[in-house]
Structure 1
Amino acid sequence: MRMIVIFALISFFATGCTINKDLLFKSAPGFEYSAISQTTVSDYKIASNDELSIQLYPNGGERLLSISTGISSDDNNRYLNQTRNTITYRVKSSGTVELPEIGEIVLAGLTLEEAELSIEKAYSDNYHNPYVLLNVTNNRVLVFPGEAGQASVITLENKNTTVLEALALAGGVRSRGISSKVKLIRSTPEGREVYLLDLSTIRGLDEASLIVQANDIIYVSSNPEIASGYLTQITPIVSVFSSLSLLYAVIVGL
């Protein structure tokens, strides 16, 4: 029995470094998190590799208004079909988008509203009072809810999706998750920002109401499973050793 205990202790130190390997995005001691400010809740800015759906209407969108009010005509039906079959355009690494008739236009770094105005201006020589509707079609956030194997990729169908809503879509904080240590990781033109959110109290509702942006990462820190992790790895080893010890005792007793 004493040999089993000694072997278990040796195995503990040998396997201890492999426990909780599922933990991601660890912060070094003294890590300075980004401060939540007005910039944090600002509108999303278009970035490289975004997929954009662009709809262009002349005469200030008059035709679109006719469609929405139910006025039927052959022209309206044609425009409606065009709306349903919207073409998407990818933002190149240079920050530009290749559009029909006008060629390349820089959109990276602009909000959706700014990009719509920029496209309208670019088409103003070709169309009378152009009206543009623009959407990012590959808006996604990654949510790690606090337990291995439960990560989700959430498609943002609503421009105003909050951190709390994104977590809810992913199934909420898991049993191992620490709701007081939720990291919001965001890429900006200036670099990567990491915000630490405390969603464990009512006061945390303000932080939970932050609007998520495309390519955000929401990571719920996890409670380490030292005991269960160790037992999971050491139990098979101890079982084998116990069987060998029993076999040895039987052989010696013969």
Structure 2
Amino acid sequence: MPLTAHRCWPWIAVLLVVLGTGCTINRNVMFRTPKDFAFDPFNPISDVNYRIAPNDLISFQLYSNKGERLLSMTAGTIAGGIHGAVAQNRNLQAMNQNNRFVYEVRPDGTVELPELGPVLLAGLNIDEAETKLEGLYSANYIDPLALLEVTNQRVLIFPGEAGVASVIPLTNPNTSLLEVLALSGGIRARGDARNVKLIRRGESGQTIQQFDLSTIDGLKYANTTVQAGDIIYVEPLPQLANEVLADVTPVLSLLSTISSFIALVSIVGGNN
């Protein structure tokens, strides 16, 4: 039996909705690359000596006589036994809190330090920066010992599903790719372990590497040392059917309600 117009138009409306939502499907996928994109080669030897950059927060401590005071505090924890160690450890923590100051690296790469004023530290690793500061402070202190730590080192993780991205602080300079993925909860159900991107800020610009962690051979990539500022992006698997259904379901529900109302009106009108 041929379909009447009032029976056809709901299906036409559904088709139009599907076609209209086609351009919005998988819009949450980021960092797309063309098929012929040339990824940067994998380099298993990573430079773990993080270089200070603008907007970094730096914890700074300075001791004279090559840290004699610091050494006496730590030595007391050994000589005093367990109870002495606890007491000395509390004193050491208090001393660290009193002597530790946090400074921000300015956009021009300098840090405003006591007695020195602005000092250019951007581009140096921690050892180089400590050596530079010890040399500058040697004019006012005997055998100065400088201790630096970048306190806002972090990695951004996108594990393959919307709404679960996280920022992982780096407390260990030798943290691996596998460790930060584990800290973020692992690759999510929709994430594609064959397509893991590592986006890193380099001296000559951004570098983009792609890893396949779906097989045992991926261990050589999983043990890659991450660096502060890295972006780890697990590309999600496309879910065409689910997203189309999610877009169409409200429309189907509305059309079903309208159809029921039309049918009810027709029945009432026929009875009259």
Q: Do these two structures clear the TM 0.5 threshold for a shared fold by scoring above it? A: yes
Judging changes above 3 Å, is the alpha-carbon distance between structure 1 residues 161 and 24 closer, same or farther for their aligned structure 2 residues?
same
Q: Match for 1:5 among 2, 11, 14?
A: 11
CA distance in 2 between counterparts of 1:98 and 1:245 reads 72
Q: Match for 1:112 among 123, 126, 131?
A: 126
1:217 matched residue in structure 2: 231
Of residues 167-176 and 244-253 in structure 1, the stretch that sits farther from structure 2 once superposed is: 244-253
Judging changes above 3 Å, is the alpha-carbon distance between structure 1 residues 129 and 80 closer, same or farther for their aligned structure 2 residues?
farther
For residues 136-147 of structure 1, the aligned pairs below 5 Å read: 136-147=150-161
1:30 matched residue in structure 2: 36
2:138 matched residue in structure 1: 124
How far does residue 250 in structure 1 lie from its aligned partner after superposition?
3.0
CA distance in 2 between counterparts of 1:209 and 1:58 reads 39
Check the 8 A contact 2:74/2:92 in 1, yes or no. Answer: no
Of residues 168-177 and 39-48 in structure 1, the stretch that sits farther from structure 2 once superposed is: 39-48
Q: Match for 2:259 among 237, 245, 254?
A: 245
How far does residue 204 in structure 1 lie from its aligned partner after superposition?
1.5
How far does residue 36 in structure 1 lie from its aligned partner after superposition?
2.4
CA distance in 1 between counterparts of 2:108 and 2:146 reads 22
Check the 8 A contact 1:162/1:212 in 2, yes or no. Answer: yes
CA distance in 2 between counterparts of 1:79 and 1:181 reads 47
Check the 8 A contact 1:67/1:80 in 2, yes or no. Answer: no
Query: What is the DSSP-based 3-state SS (H/G/I as helix, E as strand, rest coil) of the residue aligned with 2:261?
Result: helix
For residues 94-105 of structure 1, the aligned pairs below 5 Å read: 94-105=108-119
Give the alignment's Cα RMSD to 1 decimal: 2.1
Amino acid at match of 1:230: V
Calculate percent identity across the aligned residue pairs. 46
Query: What is the DSSP-based 3-state SS (H/G/I as helix, E as strand, rest coil) of the residue aligned with 1:149?
Result: coil
* TM-score, normalising length: structure 2: 0.86
CA distance in 1 between counterparts of 2:139 and 2:50 reads 28
Of residues 154-163 and 143-152 in structure 1, the stretch that sits farther from structure 2 once superposed is: 154-163
Amino acid at match of 1:159: P
How far does residue 29 in structure 1 lie from its aligned partner after superposition?
2.9
* TM-score, normalising length: structure 1: 0.91
CA distance in 2 between counterparts of 1:251 and 1:112 reads 79
Superimposed CA distance per residue, residues 129-150 of structure 1 (whole angstroms, 9 cap, x where no aligned partner): 1111111001111111110000
Amino acid at match of 2:182: A
Query: What is the DSSP-based 3-state SS (H/G/I as helix, E as strand, rest coil) of the residue aligned with 2:141?
Result: coil
The structure that has the greater radius of gyration is 2
CA distance in 2 between counterparts of 1:109 and 1:238 reads 59
Q: Match for 1:200 among 205, 214, 218?
A: 214
Superimposed CA distance per residue, residues 182-233 of structure 1 (whole angstroms, 9 cap, x where no aligned partner): 1111112311111112211222112111221112111111001110100001
* 1:83 aligned onto 2:89: no
Of residues 18-27 and 174-183 in structure 1, the stretch that sits farther from structure 2 once superposed is: 18-27
2:75 matched residue in structure 1: 69
How far does residue 38 in structure 1 lie from its aligned partner after superposition?
6.0
CA distance in 1 between counterparts of 2:175 and 2:255 reads 54
Q: Match for 1:44 among 50, 62, 82?
A: 50
Amino acid at match of 2:107: S
CA distance in 1 between counterparts of 2:34 and 2:95 reads 52
Judging changes above 3 Å, is the alpha-carbon distance between structure 1 residues 77 and 172 closer, same or farther for their aligned structure 2 residues?
closer
Amino acid at match of 1:232: A
2:83 matched residue in structure 1: none
CA distance in 1 between counterparts of 2:39 and 2:251 reads 42
Judging changes above 3 Å, is the alpha-carbon distance between structure 1 residues 186 and 199 closer, same or farther for their aligned structure 2 residues?
same
1:177 matched residue in structure 2: 191
Unaligned runs of 5+ in 2: 1-6, 81-88
Amino acid at match of 1:70: G
Unaligned runs of 5+ in 1: none
How far does residue 25 in structure 1 lie from its aligned partner after superposition?
1.5
Judging changes above 3 Å, is the alpha-carbon distance between structure 1 residues 230 and 70 closer, same or farther for their aligned structure 2 residues?
same
